[in-house]
Amino acid sequence: MQQAQQLGPETVSPDRAGEQAAERAAGSVARAVPRVLSIAGTDPTGGAGIQADLKSIAAHGGYGMAVVTALVAQNTCGVRSVHTPPADFLREQLQAVSDDVVIDAVKIGMLGDAVVVQVVKEWLEQVRPPVVVLDPVMVATSNDRLLRPEAEDALRGLLPLVHLVTPNLPELAVLLDAPVAADWAQALAQGRELSRRYGLKVLVKGGHLQGADSPDALVDAAAGPGQDLLELFSHRVDTANTHGTGCSLSAAMATVQARTLDWPESLRRVKHWLTGALERSDELEVGRGHGPIHHFHHLQPASGQAFSSRLWGLTAGVREAIMALPFIQELSAGTLDEDDFGYYLAQDARYLNGYSRVLARASALAPTEAEQLFWAKGAHQCLEVEAELHRSWLSGRGVSGEFGPVTKQYVDHLQAIAGGGSYGELVAAVIPCYWLYAHVGEQLSAQHSGGPADGHPYGAWLRTYADEAFAEASRQAVAIMDAAAAAESEAGRLRMRTAFEQSCRYELDFFDAPRVYARSRVQGG
Ligand SMILES: Nc1ncnc2c1ncn2[C@@H]1O[C@H](COP(=O)(O)OP(=O)(O)OP(=O)(O)O)[C@@H](O)[C@H]1O
Ligand SMILES: Cc1ncc(COP(=O)(O)O)c(N)n1
């Protein structure tokens, strides 16, 4: 450091200065490999601070640079001491970067004290990078303070120079000088207030809440109605390895924003990645305390069933909603309206016909003969079950064989992916029909262990659910999806997940459709 302090600032040639000014003025040009500067403290165990930021920037395709605000002797168990280099040296580091390199995005993390905040503020005023993300680091996961309380005011003074701020709930409260939000609704209200007050976007983070989800929201008070809030929910990963999640998230947001120029899209991509990084964090085995997340999980294909387990976790809410539907409850209890049941059967037959064609397409795209055969058999079986529905269950019921609105939408969704999607996407779209049906069957069989009672009006139908051959086919289909996910790019896996989630929602709507559209209801009965 002594040596570095003796060096004068590099001067920049007039040509280079002009080039930089022009590039900066452009501001809103997306960069394939953005040059992203992290201004933050250190973590020698590599899980948080600058070390985490550089990994996160690289994981999202950026070129990472780093200016150190504070040297922190810490590990996964806690902070031991902090050494803050002289403010002049911080200024020189910042100047050395911006005199030479055009900066596409900046992520700011630990600042430590008011003097550091002031130096960074002056530099931002001079350079005005096109993307500035501030993670207002105040207290570490280990509960150690990383910002002096008297610097909180100075940090608020930085907000007008920032495009996106990413506070956790206690930090949000400090920035507003308000009590910590007790629930998600209060957190969103505080996010709106902060966004309005300082004219910036706020990423409200729900990691500190309890509950099955870990929600995040992008709040922009300046955007029009319907555009001012993007809420994303992911299941809460059961892990203690959350050290550096906030650092990694904000560095990723700065990088992806510089690549896409689209904040909501950036959050969608980053949240998906972060959930995977938390899920795979246990593989790293770093430290005895709160370990780091797995920044590069997407480059190392997950072993076995990681992709399907993630999707299964993400859609727990849909499964609960299906089991709570009046249709399922009444079917199980034997109190279901006959018309509702008839409507369901007729729509099932209609659906199976379309589904069969979609499975045939999966067979055509399959990369191996075994998978080709699996889908071809599935397509064949759908037609057999459709014929059986007409022969036995539907004969004499007099229900319409027309497409109901939900069936039509569901089949259209599948056919759109069959027409234009990848094999992985198509497989992910068709799986919920197997998997959720098998799940409902398993749940209903459990409710009627030993078989439905004599005289149960839907007893014969309930018995068809307990079909072990179908459960096995469902397991095979899920294994095929995991293999397809491993062969896809990260963007491909994201499309697979979207297709899967959409199909899950259609499954829910499909089971609920009799309640809405069955004959007696439509006629007001
Ligand atoms: N157990 C979890 N499962 C899934 N996502 C999580 C979990 N914990 C945190 N997150 C996500 O990690 C990000 C950071 O959230 P959090 O509210 O914990 O911020 P933070 O306190 O600044 O993070 P840090 O742990 O680095 O201090 C958010 O996107 C949040 O939704
Ligand atoms: C240098 C530095 N910056 C930020 C954090 C916060 O991260 P976490 O809250 O996950 O400990 C940290 N521990 N160290």
In what helix (H) or strand (E) does residue 215 lie, and over which residues does it extend? strand 213-219
Q: Is 383 left (phi over 0), alpha (psi -120 to 50) or beta?
A: alpha
Q: Are strands 78-83 and 164-165 parallel, antiparallel or unpaired?
A: unpaired
User: Which residue from 79, 110, 142 has its CB within 8 A of the most atoms of ligand 2, so it is best to mutate?
Assistant: 110
Q: 244 C-alpha to center of ligand 2: Å?
A: 5
Q: pTM score, two decimals?
A: 0.63
Burial of 3 per CB tally in 10 Å (0-12, 13-18, 19+)? exposed
The ligand minimizing its distance to the Cα of 52 is 2
167 lines ligand 1 (CB under 6 A): no
- Contact predicate 297/280, CB 8 Å: yes
Q: What strands lie across the sheet with 201-205, from one edge to the other?
A: 78-83, 63-75, 35-41, 105-108, 132-134, 164-165, 201-205, 213-219, 229-235
Q: 349 C-alpha to center of ligand 2: Å?
A: 56
Amino acid (1-letter code) at residue 345: L
* pLDDT, tens only, 396-437: 877 887 899 999 999 999 999 999 999 999 999 999 999 999
* pLDDT, tens only, 32-83: 999 999 999 999 999 999 999 999 999 999 999 999 999 999 999 999 999 9
**Residue 18, helix vs strand vs coil:** helix
User: Which residue from 146, 230, 242, 274 has its CB within 8 A of the most atoms of ligand 1, so it is best to mutate?
Assistant: 242
Domains of the chain (ranges, CATH numbers): 34-296 (3.40.1190.20), 306-522 (1.20.910.10)
User: Which residue from 54, 82, 113, 137 has its CB within 8 A of the most atoms of ligand 2, so it is best to mutate?
Assistant: 137
241 lines ligand 1 (CB under 6 A): no
180 lines ligand 1 (CB under 6 A): no
246 lines ligand 1 (CB under 6 A): yes
Q: 360 C-alpha to center of ligand 2: Å?
A: 51
Q: Which atom of ligand 2 is nearest to the CA of 137?
A: 4
d(CA 28, CA 377): 52
46 lines ligand 2 (CB under 6 A): no
Q: Pick the residue whose CA is nearest to atom 23 on ligand 1.
A: 246
244 lines ligand 2 (CB under 6 A): yes
Q: Pick the residue whose CA is nearest to atom 20 on ligand 1.
A: 246
Nearest Cα to 61, choosing from 310, 299, 307?
299
Q: Which atom of ligand 2 is nearest to the CA of 43?
A: 1
| 39 beta partners | 67, 108
| 201 beta partners | 164
Q: 141 C-alpha to center of ligand 1: Å?
A: 10
- Contact predicate 254/107, CB 8 Å: yes
> How many C-beta atoms surround the C-beta of residue 368 within 10 A?
10
d(CA 196, CA 219): 9
**Residue 346, helix vs strand vs coil:** helix
Q: Pick the residue whose CA is nearest to atom 4 on ligand 2.
A: 49
Give the model's pLDDT for residue 27. 53
Give the model's pLDDT for residue 275. 92
Q: What six digits make up the tokens of 377?
A: 């058999």
**28-67 as b/e: b if 16+ CB within 10 A:** eeebeebbbbbbbbbbebbbbbbbbbbbbbbbbebebbbb
Q: Which atom of ligand 1 is nearest to the CA of 141?
A: 27
d(CA 464, CA 4): 77
71 lines ligand 2 (CB under 6 A): no
Give the model's pLDDT for residue 330. 95
Nearest Cα to 276, choosing from 248, 318, 317?
248
Nearest Cα to 428, choosing from 364, 358, 370?
358
Give the model's pLDDT for residue 12. 37
Compute the radius of gyration of the chain from its Cα atoms. Answer: 28
Give the model's pLDDT for residue 282. 84
Amino acid (1-letter code) at residue 186: Q
d(CA 486, CA 301): 6
User: Which residue from 205, 219, 270, 297 has its CB within 8 A of the most atoms of ligand 1, so it is best to mutate?
Assistant: 205
Nearest Cα to 253, choosing from 391, 57, 2?
57
**Active site residue ranges:** 205, 242, 244-247
Give the model's pLDDT for residue 392. 86
Tally of helices (H runs) and strands (E runs) in the chain: 21, 9
Q: 193 C-alpha to center of ligand 2: Å?
A: 26
41 lines ligand 2 (CB under 6 A): yes
CA distances from 10 to 95, 97, 198, 234, 424 (A): 8, 9, 35, 46, 51
Give the model's pLDDT for residue 9. 30
Low-confidence ranges of the chain (pLDDT < 70): 1-28, 301-305, 519-525
The ipTM of this complex is 0.98
110 lines ligand 2 (CB under 6 A): yes
291 lines ligand 2 (CB under 6 A): no
